[in-house]
Amino acid sequence: MARTTPTPYTFRTIRSLPHLPHSATSHAFLTRLATDPGIRHVMAKYKWTVPLLLEMEPLGNTTHDSKTLGLNRNRGAVIELRLRTDWYDGWRDYKTVRKTLCHELAHIVWDGHGREFWDLTSIISSPLVYLAFACFFCFFFGGGVGGY
């Protein structure tokens, strides 16, 4: 049996956009990120607690020449992630969104995009972290690596 240890270093609330179709799929996507063994490891290591993980409103964050993939409000009070494809016909690649999440997590410590920011981002988004913990996870809980 899986034994889960309650940790304060996690996302307290997860919320998808209720007015978009298949809101439950977005919610499951966010839950998968929040419970990703690599993400859990990183958050525990740096003692990060994020009160709210939110699906980003895609339209309000797109202009003709740019689109925001993620946002961090008030140093980790809220992290928003763009989950859906540009044409709303599906969801973005899991690992790509997870990379964006790592970028936004690093903004808990650093506001701008200076050297220290990128150093931290590369540490917490290192594929090694996710590989190591993914295999550990597979070993104990078995498979379940579905793609969105």
Active site residues: 104
Task: State how far the Cα of 51 lies from the Cα of 10, in Å rounded to an integer.
Answer: 8
Q: Which residues pair with 70 in a beta bridge?
A: 81
Task: State how far the Cα of 25 lies from the Cα of 16, in Å rounded to an integer.
Answer: 9
Q: Which residues of 5-14 are buried (b: 16+ CB within 10 A; e: fewer)?
A: eeeeebbeeb
Task: State how far the Cα of 148 lies from the Cα of 96, in Å rounded to an integer.
Answer: 11
- Measured from the Cβ of residue 32, the count of other Cβ atoms closer than 10 Å reads 17
Two structure tokens written together for 69: 């993939």
